[in-house]
Amino acid sequence: MYRDLILPTAAAAPNVPGLAPLRRAMAAVWEALGSVPDPEVPAVSVVELGLIRQVEWREEELIVHLTTTYSGCPAADMIRTLIHEQLAALGVAHVTLVTQLAPAWSTDWIAPEARSKLRAYGIAPPHLTAERIDVAGISPLRHGTLRVPCPLCGSSRTSLLSQFGSTACKAQYRCDACLEPFDYFKPH
C-alpha cells in the first residue's frame, strides 16, 4: 500500500508510517554482513576481520563504510560484490559502499573468535602488532625472535619458507615437528 504514496521529498520518507520496513533492523544488517566471507580466507567473515567500519541509514539508503586489508588487495572488488549481494538478499535496495582508508586497517582488528577460526582453518593468526620487536627497514618475519606456532600441532618449532604464501598477506611456514606447511597471516 505504501508503494502508492507519492512523497513530496525523499526526506519525508521516514515519517510516513509503513515505510519503516524498508529499513531493515541494524541487527539484521550486521547479520547479513557477517555472512560475507573473506574471499582469501573463507573461514572468517569481513565483519570478524574488522573490515566493516560503520553502517548507517540515510533515509532508505544504507551506507556501509568499509576498509581493505591493504590497498590493492585483489579481494576488495569481490568483497564489495558479495556485500551488495547479501544486502540485496535482505531486501535492502539502496546500498552505498564507502571505502575508508584511514585509519589503516590493522590485523589487530581481527576479532578474537576469528583468530581461533583461522587456526582451525590451518592458518596461523597474526601476532598483535605490539608484540613485534620492530626494527626500521627490517621485516619482523626475519627476526629469529618471532615464533609462529604451528596451527596444526601447536609446536613452536617452525621455519619461514617464504615471505609470501597463498596470498600476498600471508607468509609460508613449515612446521619442523609435524612437517606440515602452513600460512601465517602477517601482522601489520
Contact footprint for Zn ion (CB under 5 A): 150, 152-153, 155, 175, 177-178
Q: How far is the CB of 165 from Zn ion (least distance, A)?
A: 16
Taking the C-alpha atoms of residue 142 and residue 132, their distance in angstroms, rounded to an integer, is 11
Q: What is the spatial distance between Cα 182 and Cα 174, in angstroms, rounded to a whole number?
A: 6
When the beta carbons of 151 and 187 are compared against Zn ion, the nearer one is 151
Identity of the residue, 153 or 168, whose beta carbon is nearer to Zn ion in the bound complex? 153
Q: In Å, how far are 33, 55, 90, 91, 112 from 27, measured between CA atoms? A: 10, 11, 12, 14, 20
Closer to Zn ion at the Cβ: 87 or 150? 150
Taking the complex as a whole, the smallest distance from the CB of residue 182 to Zn ion amounts, in Å, to 8
Least separation in angstroms between CB 124 and Zn ion: 10
Q: How far is the CB of 147 from Zn ion (least distance, A)?
A: 13
In degrees rounded to 5, what are phi and psi of residue 117?
A: -65, -40
CB of 153 to Zn ion, least distance (A): 3
Cis peptide bond upstream of 103, omega within 30:
yes
Q: 155 or 167, CB closer to Zn ion?
A: 155
> Which CB atom, from 63 or from 153, has the smaller least distance to Zn ion?
153
State in angstroms the smallest separation of the CB of 178 from Zn ion. Answer: 3
Grid coordinates representing 27 are 541487527
